[in-house]
Amino acid sequence: MIAPPPSDGSPVPLGSVGADDLQEQVRRRLNAVGCRHVHVESLARRDWWGVIAYATTSDYWRCFDSLESLMSDVEYATTVREIWTATNGLSPQEAERRLLKHGRTISRDMWMTAADAVAYGALPEQVTVYRGGVQGCETGWSWSLTLETAEHFACGLTDGDGQRRVVASGTVSKHDVIALFTGNWEEQEVIVPGHLVTVVSIADQPADPG
């Protein structure tokens, strides 16, 4: 049986359990959630995102949940970031569970790459943010730094389904931002609980942002 990562957040050394044992444990866990492939090279590097990325997009979080007890705190944070930026984030409840109520010791820097940290450092103390979606989207945790990105996101989410498209804008304290992710399609994505954003407007968004 594979021991969980040490309490200091360092990874479980492959040699302590044997690479074959770890591979078999991971294979068993992934098979249990319907994922049949283990990328051995990624696992040998403890690149958990490389292991999970072979699943279908809709299965990423299920695979993550099956493996996260094998991850160190750093590996956990890094993998959450990679899945988050490869998908459309999470519902407020799931975001809270994975970003706040994870039972680990994870600092802001651990969520972010070096480029993310530089972008976060450049933020003003009060950050203007935008979120596009359907009515009620202001409770979400993923916010953009540009109005244009939020407008396009609102249009792309609700094509012909009759839901009201909106763009919320507001301000948030830099201190309350959990992380800033760069390099995904949004370029810069501010991760912050929606209830900490002071919403100043919620505007209807037409089908074509013009």
Our count of domains for the chain comes to 2
Q: What are the tens digits of pLDDT across the range 5-42?
A: 444 444 444 334 456 789 999 999 999 999 888 899 99
pTM for the full model?
Answer: 0.85
Query: Among residues 69, 87, 105, which one ends one of the domains?
Result: 87
For residue 4, tell me if it sits in a domain. Answer: no
Q: pLDDT-based confidence at 159, cuts 50/70/90?
A: low
For residue 150, tell me if it sits in a domain. Answer: yes
Phi and psi at residue 136, in whole multiples of 5°? 100, 0
**Residue 44: domain span:** 14-87
158's tokens: 């609700």
Q: What are the tens digits of pLDDT across the range 48-99?
A: 999 999 999 999 999 999 999 999 999 999 999 999 999 878 999 999 999 9
Query: Among residues 87, 105, 139, which one ends one of the domains?
Result: 87
125/69 same-domain check = no
168/123 same-domain check = yes
**Do the beta carbons of residue 86 and residue 64 sit within 8 Å?**
no
Q: What are the tens digits of pLDDT across the range 120-151?
A: 999 999 999 999 988 899 999 999 999 999 99
Predicted local confidence at residue 72, as pLDDT: 96
Query: Among residues 87, 104, 138, which one ends one of the domains?
Result: 87
CA distance 15 to 24: 14
67/139 same-domain check = no
